[in-house]
Amino acid sequence: MYEKLEQLKALFVELDQALIAYSGGIDSTLVAKVAFDVLGNRAIAVTAESPSLLPEDLEDARIQAAEIGIVHKVVQTHELDNPNYASNPVNRCYFCKSELHDTLKPLAQAWGYPYVIDGVNADDLYDYRPGIQAAKERGARSPLAETGITKLEVRAIAKHLGLSYWDKPAQPCLSSRFPYGEEITIAKLQRVGRAEVYLKKLGWQNIRVRSEGDTARIEVLPDQVKEFVVQTDLPKLTEAFQSYGFLYVTLDLEGYRSGKLNQVLQFKSV
């Protein structure tokens, strides 16, 4: 792990400058931390704000950037204006990352940065991530993947470097809560976001609220399913979710599993 950290530092020395596509997740936060430690003010973190990003996550990104000390800027992206994204095809993330890098690359060039740097790690290369291809087509660099740093190593290195957010739960964009083929709208994103914030305020952190039509399907960690049922005021929760726009509220008995909605792709390929 420590050898890979030194390789990561050496890579940033070689790059000399870095504009980081900074979501506020632990991967891009680690990239921002190491880039700033090596490059100082020659590194900058840029977060894309859009309806698919919770306002709370944007605020977390600001706080984390301030903790690191890196300059942090926010730009607007408009992926929902693209029907290829809003229709939510299986390669939706390709169009999301296309919008992101088509926004960041001109900024990087105008500000004198040779590359846009992302937080793709080595494990991501073996998952279904069509957005990685969009980033590659636009010349982005992925230092974590290039140095072979895995998701577990990201957290271990972040903890070693003293980042207070080293164990932050993964928080992909809100559009990942919808089954492929269901149209994504701002109203749908907002109701999912409000529902997840409601659960987090109750103390449930590793959660997802999947949206299928008018139904909210709650996922908590598998070993917390029974605890969730016992401890949660279910009628009050249902009332809250219905006030957000859902008609039905269900609990996934299998529990939370990252990338669960991608399992439909496996069935289709059989």
The domain that holds 63 is classified in CATH as 3.40.50.620
Asked whether residue 27 is domain-assigned, the answer is yes
Return the pLDDT at 270.
Answer: 38
Long-range CB contacts for residues 126-131, cutoff 8 Å, separation at least 24: 127/259, 128/259, 128/262, 128/265, 129/93, 130/90, 130/91, 130/92, 130/93, 130/94, 130/97, 131/93, 131/94, 131/96, 131/97
What CATH number is given to the structural domain containing 265? 3.30.300
Residues 144 and 180 in one domain: no
Distance between CA atoms of residues 55 and 21, nearest Å: 17
Residue in this structure with the two tokens 């439909």, named with its chain if needed: 264
Q: How far is residue 39 from each of residues 71, 159, 167, 227, measured CA to CA in Å?
A: 12, 20, 25, 46
Residues 122 and 224 in one domain: no
Residue in this structure with the two tokens 């109203």, named with its chain if needed: 187
Return the pLDDT at 169.
Answer: 86
Residues 8 and 73 in one domain: yes
Asked whether residue 168 is domain-assigned, the answer is no
Question: Containing domain of residue 120, as a range?
Answer: 2-160
pLDDT in tens for each of the 270 residues of the chain?
789 999 999 999 999 999 999 999 999 999 999 999 999 999 999 999 999 999 999 999 999 999 999 999 999 999 999 999 999 999 999 999 999 999 999 999 999 999 999 999 999 998 888 999 999 999 999 999 999 999 999 999 999 999 988 988 888 899 999 999 999 999 999 999 999 999 999 999 899 999 999 999 999 999 999 999 999 999 999 999 999 999 999 999 999 887 666 665 554 443
Asked whether residue 169 is domain-assigned, the answer is no
Return the pLDDT at 267.
Answer: 42
Question: How many domains in the chain?
Answer: 2
Q: Give the end of a domain, one of 160, 191, 209.
A: 160
Return the pLDDT at 127.
Answer: 82
pTM over 0.85: yes
Other C-beta atoms lying within 10 Å of the C-beta of residue 107: 15
25 φ/ψ angles, rounded to the nearest 5 degrees: -70, 165
Residues 147 and 65 in one domain: yes
Residues 22 and 123 in one domain: yes
Asked whether residue 103 is domain-assigned, the answer is yes
**Residue 115 corresponds to which tokens in the numbers above?**
């590359």
Asked whether residue 165 is domain-assigned, the answer is no
Asked whether residue 167 is domain-assigned, the answer is no
Return the pLDDT at 59.
Answer: 94
Asked whether residue 188 is domain-assigned, the answer is yes
**Residue type for position 189:** L
Residues 187 and 145 in one domain: no
Residues 51 and 142 in one domain: yes
Q: How far is residue 137 from each of residues 40, 134, 141, measured CA to CA in Å?
A: 28, 5, 11
Distance between CA atoms of residues 268 and 89, nearest Å: 14
DSSP characters over the chain:
-HHHHHHHHHHHHHH--EEEE--SSHHHHHHHHHHHHHHGGGEEEEEEE-TTS-HHHHHHHHHHHHHHT-EEEEEE--GGGSHHHHT--TTHHHHHHHHHHHHHHHHHHHHT-S-EE----GGGGGS--HHHHHHHHTT-B-HHHHTT--HHHHHHHHHHTT-TTTTPPP---GGGGS-TTSPP-HHHHHHHHHHHHHHHHTT--S-EEEEETTEEEEE--GGGHHHHHHHS-HHHHHHHHHHHT-SEEEE-TT---TTGGGHHHHHHH-
Residues 140 and 49 in one domain: yes
In terms of DSSP bridges, do strands 43-49 and 18-21 run parallel, antiparallel, or are they unpaired? parallel
Return the pLDDT at 259.
Answer: 66
Asked whether residue 209 is domain-assigned, the answer is yes
Return the pLDDT at 269.
Answer: 43
